Amino acid sequence: MENFLTAGNHLASLNDESKIYSATGAGRIPWVSVQDIANVGFHALTSPQPLNTDLLILGPKLLTYDDLAEIFRSILNRKITYQELDEAGLAALHRRFGVPEEYARVLAGMDTAIKNGSEDRINEVVRRVTGREPRRFADFVEANKEGWSLSLHQP
């Protein structure tokens, strides 16, 4: 989730163009918050009983980029659109935002994998390990909506 606040490409495209770019198509992602990752890690490291298992930390709901655009639109009260790109177009966009070429290709390739279902999964790890519900994407956007102010990047 936090990539939308810290990654230059997501932050700039949201603030400067009111767009989200991806090559995931209708692929779904279980967006997870770094808070949930940290909470699971804390519990795993401080538990009196070792968990003795790998922990795949996933968010609570599968969302497409169209879903994300709608969440941003409803919370920020402005039109946010999802712009579908192909893998090469997304790699070029990443490079435009300063991502090194090889890493830009890797990131774009990950989107193609998502488009083909690689992230279409959820689980109960956050709830099972921490006893708390994982953070919803809408709650993340609501808590950080000032970070996507159009005025932040306009002269």
**Domains (range + CATH), the chain:** 3-146 (3.40.50.720)
For residues 126 and 73, what is the distance between their CA atoms, to the nearest angstrom? 27
**The pLDDT value given to residue 51:** 86
Quick: pLDDT tens for 9-65: 788 889 889 999 999 999 999 999 999 999 999 999 999 988 888 999 999 999 999
**Are the beta carbons of 89 and 23 closer than 8 angstroms?**
yes
**Are the beta carbons of 19 and 83 closer than 8 angstroms?**
yes
**The pLDDT value given to residue 57:** 97
Mean pLDDT across the stretch 59-76? 97
Per the prediction, the chain carries an average pLDDT of 92
pTM: 0.89
**The pLDDT value given to residue 149:** 78
The burial class, CB within 10 Å (0-12 / 13-18 / 19+), for 93 is: buried
For residues 28 and 19, what is the distance between their CA atoms, to the nearest angstrom? 18
Could you give the percent of the chain with pLDDT greater than 70?
Answer: 96
Q: Identify the band that residue 150 occupies on the pLDDT scale cut at 50, 70 and 90.
A: low
Mean pLDDT across the stretch 79-90? 96
